[in-house]
Structure 1
Amino acid sequence: MNRKAGLTVDQFRSHWISVHGALVSKLPRLRRYEQNHVIHAPQGGSGFKSGGDRVDGFSELHFDHDDDMREALATQAAKSMVENEVNFLAQVRVVTVERIEVVPPPTTGPFNKRISLVRRRSDISHGDFVREWQGIHAQLIRSIPGVIGYRQNVIVGRQSPKGREVDYDGLPIDGVVELWFPNPDAPATAFASPEGKEALVHTSTIAGAITTFPVEPLLIV
């Protein structure tokens, strides 16, 4: 999500939480709803090549099944939600994902959370990327000291802008990473460790760009 021009970060945050959050919460069959407010600060940590994406927030909506999601988004509650988006958002892109929880994240703080958009190398297929990412790479990240939570989200559907289905060229992202550390300084220490360096070497064999955003998560539903 990208905020509307002219809105301050505080205005964007306030509207997203108090107004839009209440509308999204009314969606039927919604199992979980989390807002991730981007902290506009240098990403730190791995130093891997960034894709240059600019994002102000990530909204996570969880449904049991794809059909549940589609039925919910066809309701009047969803219509009201979409109508409100123009009041505070300039751009919304949507990905549908299949999630793997490699290291169960903490449920209470304090902690530092980061969300990364991952684009594969141009010389490997999406299938090869996913197999390597979910296999060797998952185990390497799990071994890094200081990693207290790790989720892999494989993208299976794309809309850019929201409501318009596109192919990979329309939204060239293969996966979304969620990583938790005990504090803001921990990522730099983690990726400087022998385990972290080994993981970064492997990252370079499958990823072309990784854009990382420190976020403040807020659980709504």
Structure 2
Amino acid sequence: MSEPTRNRRHSPAVYRRRRLVVLLALVAIIAVIWLLIAQPWRGAATEGTPQSAASPTSATATDLPVPSEDAGASATPAASSATASSAPSPEASATPTAAPCVARDLIVEAVTDQDSYATGQNPQLSIRLTNNGEDCTLNVGTSGQAFTITSGSDVWWRSTDCQSEPSDMIVLLAAGQTVESASPLEWDRTRSSVSTCADEDRPRAPGGGASYHVGVEIGGVASTQTKQIFLY
């Protein structure tokens, strides 16, 4: 009978190779798992993707300008601005195609920031303009604007008395559009005169609850009603 075969013991080099193979396989498995979880290629793809360009906004006139300068007017505009409707502001155009506005289709209103003013408070005057007709063009520049403040039949102040460098500005008013000036004009509660523009001691309007009325004209169209204010 033949002798039973004995298991041969491998050399240490064989065991080292087997351990190396197992270690490499383990490293490969860990690397695959990391790639699936981390997905490092996703960040590179995001960085390389160009962003879509923002849509350009149209250039429009954002407010109705007011008379540029008066000896009794403040050059500092109000901190906030507003339009009277969600419609866009009138669009300035060098070559407007619509016909000129018709006075009967326009409503012009004088607007003040308050109804009454304590001692030391100066009224802020603005214009509200509504187009009840078709699309039309109107000169809303300072050359065609005028505020007037009266007390009874006495005219106390005109914004045009000391106005300097008036300018034209033709805008397109859309049908049904309402706009309001964003930069109000300040009345310093003095009496204006073309001969006293540089005078720092112009007569001051009486207070104590005295009533005054503000009227306005723009583009040759005057407000049909005045805005009443009280000075204290």
How does the TM-score come out when normalised to structure 2?
A: 0.24
Which protein shows a greater Rg? 2
Q: Which has the higher helix share?
A: 1
